[in-house]
Amino acid sequence: MSDKEQKPLPGRRALLSGGAAALGLLVAPGIRLIEVAGASTTASPKVRWGLLVDTTRCTPECKACVNACNAENHLSGATAPTDSQWLRKVELKDKRTGRTASVPVMCQHCAKPACVDVCPTGASFKRADGIVLVDRHACIGCRYCMMACPYKARSFVHAEVHDQNPEVPRGKGCVEGCNLCVHRVDKGQLPTCVEACPNQAMLFGDLNDPNSALSQRLRTIATTQVRADLGLDTGVRYHGI
Amino acid sequence: MTGAASKRFDVSHFYGLVGLGLAVLLAGLGAFHYMEEHGHIVSGMNNQVVWGTPHVFAIFMIVAASGVLNVASIGSVFGKTVYKVRAPLSGLLCLALLGGGLMVLMLDLGRPDRVIVAATHYNFTSVFAWNVFLYSGMFGIVAVYLWTMMERRMKPLSKPAGFAAFIWRLILTTGTGSIFGFLVARQAYGSAILAPMFIVMSFAWGLAVFYIVQSVMYAWNGMELHPSVLRRMKNLLAVFVAGTAYFVAAYHVTNIYFARQTEFEQFILVSGGIYPLLLWLGFGVVGTLVPLLLIFLPGLGTPRAVLFASAGVIIGAFALLYTFIIGGQAFPLQIFPGFEASSSFGDGAVGAYSPSLPEVLLGLGGVAAAFLITTIGVRILHFLPQDDLVQLEAANPAD
């Protein structure tokens, strides 16, 4: 799989709206970051971004995706129960057979996300292109989404955060989680975990496009959705578990 | 004690109680400020146990607020005179507990400064958003209900207002139970039984709170509860306590029957440390068995015994909620059924949680707020339930 096939290309509209956002920043310095993000978005309902994780290529020692995620989003990488972890490696062992697997787990970007259903203010939302996000300016920190998420994909910011990536605003008292590197995807780049994987275990693409490399791969190998019994129609699929 | 001395004693005790309530409330607000400044890092909560001790307090008060109004409903909706005279106190306690519970819930938010966002942005698929309407509506309806009871010209509207409050509180407690009932992801929740279970729990907890407040007010005024009223109230309390135990048992037995839930039940009933202990000893013995014995054992069932029974019911309520809310979260999410899981994020491991002082103080601050509203309310509004003793004697000559 070449990088070119995985990369969503920025359109003319994206460039124009990006320029508009930059101009907006110049003329209205007080504007909220989320509004800028809204102005620059290229989300289209025709697209549904998804991810295939081939766990047969993952090894327990390799944490490249986790480290890349932490670096991109300026997470500390600390692993106390109060620290944020947007992407983690879960080591699995089949209770009967003893077969093991090392599985990267992050927000599954469900088509019917429980976190969006329960959020009282609409801060948890799903973009038209299927990416599930938290509007950091509308989150009141009630943590109901964390109670509802079947994947333990969200973290609560328990203390002040420093040294933020301006493209990924975080804040004490708000809930956060994997955003599928929306800021990179909107610029035509790959999510950082996908890019960082040394074993090409992750494939990013458009689930709605039958000709995308992702869709073609999903047609040819056996894949599963985690907790498929819940019927959430996850955007992240796994091979090898 | 002379009349004047008695009055001075009364006034000084009133201000003493208000002072005590204010002190605890201030401690609660101080705890809130501390958590707001430092973040929830200073609480015992974490990314696994996201709702902690404040939620135990808040949910107890919100559930009891709905239940305490049951006393008024029996009077207004079902026309029982004995309960009708208790309706104003019941309404006041409802407002006080609801206010205290909501205070704790709001002050525990990660961003309490954004409470205006919660009041202006609604996602109508969220049970929390429904509850914003249900709680604020409850305040409005109960306030109107109290008005119809206190204002002579509004008396004819008292019954419809009481009926509206009766329906509203059933929906409200359904909403509170559904906060958990709609959570499909976690083993402890996601069950339709939780809504009716919360309603029955509210009856028991609300009546227990009512009985304690009424006992204190009667002791304060040197009055005694008429035996026929005592008999009715204690029997009703026993029915509600038994009803709660029935629902809790049905919830667990159903779970035990489902193979996918047996690990969770093993944890919550047997191996989970503090959680089974609180469930069996706190809820089962102190909150259920002892109150029933205090009510029904020959020679017991006295006003004092029922007071202890009511206290037991409240202790049991806290034990049950702690097990349900915190134990339910501590049990690891079954993300990969059939696999043993481990990770840096606590997958497959029981979540650690111990209540921190700020959390406990915040919860007690909510109780203090409810206490202050009640103490000042009964002082100003003269809500002491006064039975028509002549009528009671005529109706219950044997007592």
User: What's the pLDDT tens digit per position in A26-73?
Assistant: 434 333 444 344 444 568 899 999 999 999 999 999 999 999 999 999
Whether chain B has a CB inside 8 Å of the CB on A95: the answer is: yes
Instruction: Give the mutation candidate from B34, B38, B47 for the A interface (greatest A CB count, under 10 A).
Output: B47
Domains, chain B: 9-381 (1.20.1630.10)
pLDDT of residue B393: 74
pLDDT digits (tens, 9 = 90+) for B148-182: 988 888 888 888 999 999 999 999 999 999 999 99
Its sign, for the CA torsion B383, B389, B391, B396, is positive
Alpha helices, H only, chain B:
3-38, 53-68, 70-76, 81-84, 87-107, 115-120, 127-150, 158-181, 194-220, 227-257, 262-266, 274-277, 290-296, 303-321, 328-330, 357-381, 389-395
Tell me the chain B residues in contact with residue A123 when contact means C-beta distances shorter than 8 Å. Answer: 121
Separation CA B158–CA B169 (nearest Å):
16
Subunit contact A142:B126, Cβ cutoff 8 A: no
pLDDT of residue A192: 97
Cross-chain CB nearest to A90 (options B117, B127, B341)? B341
Cross-chain CB nearest to A79 (options B185, B333, B344)? B344
pLDDT of residue A12: 46
Subunit contact B110:A173, Cβ cutoff 8 A: yes
Residue A5: pLDDT band by 50, 70, 90 thresholds?
very low
3-class state of residue A88 by DSSP: strand
Instruction: Give the mutation candidate from B32, B35, B38, B41 for the A interface (greatest A CB count, under 10 A).
Output: B41
ipTM: 0.91
Separation CA B111–CA B298 (nearest Å):
54
Q: Are strands A124-126 and A154-156 parallel, antiparallel or unpaired?
A: unpaired
- Please provide residue A182's backbone torsions phi and psi, each rounded to the nearest 5 degrees: -55, -35
Q: Closest approach of chain B CAs to the CA of A26, in angstroms?
A: 28
Helices B87-107 & B53-68, crossing angle to 10 degrees? 160
Residue B299 burial (CB < 10 Å; 0-12/13-18/19+)? Answer: exposed
CATH code assigned at A90: 3.30.70.20
One-character DSSP codes across A137-190: TT-----HHHHH-TT--EEE--S---S--TTS---TT-EEE--TTHHHHTTTPP
One-character DSSP codes across B135-152: HHHHHHHHHHHHHHHHSG
A91, B340 contact by CB (below 8 A): no
pLDDT of residue B5: 61
Residue A87: pLDDT band by 50, 70, 90 thresholds?
very high
pLDDT of residue B277: 98
pLDDT of residue B384: 78
Cross-chain CB nearest to A148 (options B45, B114, B185)? B185
More confident residue, A88 or A4: A88
- Encoded tokens for B55: 């939620």
pLDDT of residue B4: 65
End-to-end CA distance of chain B: 31
Whether chain B has a CB inside 8 Å of the CB on A9: the answer is: no
Tell me the chain A residues in contact with residue B38 when contact means C-beta distances shorter than 8 Å. Answer: 159
pLDDT digits (tens, 9 = 90+) for A200-226: 999 999 999 999 999 999 999 999 999
Q: Are strands A236-239 and A49-54 parallel, antiparallel or unpaired?
A: parallel
Query: Domain range for residue A231?
Result: 3-239
10-residue block means of pLDDT along chain B (399 residues)? 62 89 97 96 96 97 95 83 87 96 96 90 92 93 91 85 92 95 93 96 96 91 87 94 98 94 96 97 98 94 94 98 97 95 96 97 97 91 77 65
Q: What is the count of structural domains for chain A? A: 1
- Encoded tokens for B65: 């607020």
pLDDT of residue A1: 39
Subunit contact A81:B352, Cβ cutoff 8 A: yes
Enumerate residues 163 to 192 of chain A having a beta carbon within 8 A of any beta carbon in chain B: 172-175
- Encoded tokens for A85: 């972890």
Residue B274 burial (CB < 10 Å; 0-12/13-18/19+)? Answer: middle
A4 pLDDT higher than 50 = no
Whether chain B has a CB inside 8 Å of the CB on A11: the answer is: no
pLDDT of residue B2: 55
Separation CA B303–CA B231 (nearest Å):
9
- What percent of chain A shows pLDDT beyond 70? 83
Mean pLDDT of chain A: 87
- Encoded tokens for B285: 């013995």
pLDDT of residue B78: 80
pLDDT of residue B77: 79
pLDDT of residue A151: 97
pLDDT of residue A3: 41
Separation CA B271–CA B59 (nearest Å):
26
- Encoded tokens for B234: 């204690």
Subunit contact B132:A122, Cβ cutoff 8 A: no
pLDDT of residue B46: 97
B310, B287 contact by CB (below 8 A): no
Closest C-alpha among B323, B207, B346 to residue B273: B323
A205, A86 contact by CB (below 8 A): no
3-class state of residue B343 by DSSP: strand
Tell me the chain B residues in contact with residue A142 when contact means C-beta distances shorter than 8 Å. Answer: 109-110, 118, 128
- Encoded tokens for B310: 């009511």
